């Protein structure tokens, strides 16, 4: 195998969660920050709560409000088409004329 192409392995990599929990594992990075871990995830804790990462719920409610407001806005009527343009003559029409 070639030397120097493989990443460095850290046997004491520290993973730190947003809840404050931290644990040690093996990784190619020395320090890893995560938003949720087994100590605070609802599946593991048995608690029912929302996990809102980066305001996804807020983004969704904003889109729903915008959609409802656009439905309430008066719709403009489409312009009626003017006189219809003449159809171009076909070869058959040109021969008979």
Q: Give the integer Cα–Cα distance in Å for 27 and 71.
A: 51
Q: Is 22 annotated as a binding residue?
A: no
Question: What sign does the CA torsion over 87, 89, 91, 95 have?
Answer: positive
Burial of 13 (0-12, 13-18, 19+ CB in 10 A): middle
Q: Is 37 annotated as a binding residue?
A: yes
Quickly tell me which residue has 């920050």 as its tokens.
33
Q: Is 92 annotated as a binding residue?
A: no
List CB contacts of 88: < 8 A, sequence separation 6 or more: none
Q: Is 41 annotated as a binding residue?
A: no
Residues belonging to the binding site are 17, 19, 37, 40
Annotated binding site for Zn(2+): 17, 19, 37, 40
């Amino acid at each position: 195998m070639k030397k120097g192409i493989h990443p460095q392995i850290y046997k004491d990599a520290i993973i730190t969660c947003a809840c404050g929990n931290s644990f040690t594992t093996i990784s190619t990075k020395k320090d890893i920050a995560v938003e949720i871990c087994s100590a605070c995830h609802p599946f593991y804790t048995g608690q029912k709560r929302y996990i809102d990462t980066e305001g996804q719920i807020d983004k969704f409610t904003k889109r729903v409000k915008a959609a409802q407001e656009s439905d309430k806005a008066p719709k403009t009527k489409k312009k009626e088409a003017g006189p219809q343009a003449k159809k171009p003559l076909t070869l058959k029409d040109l021969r008979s004329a």
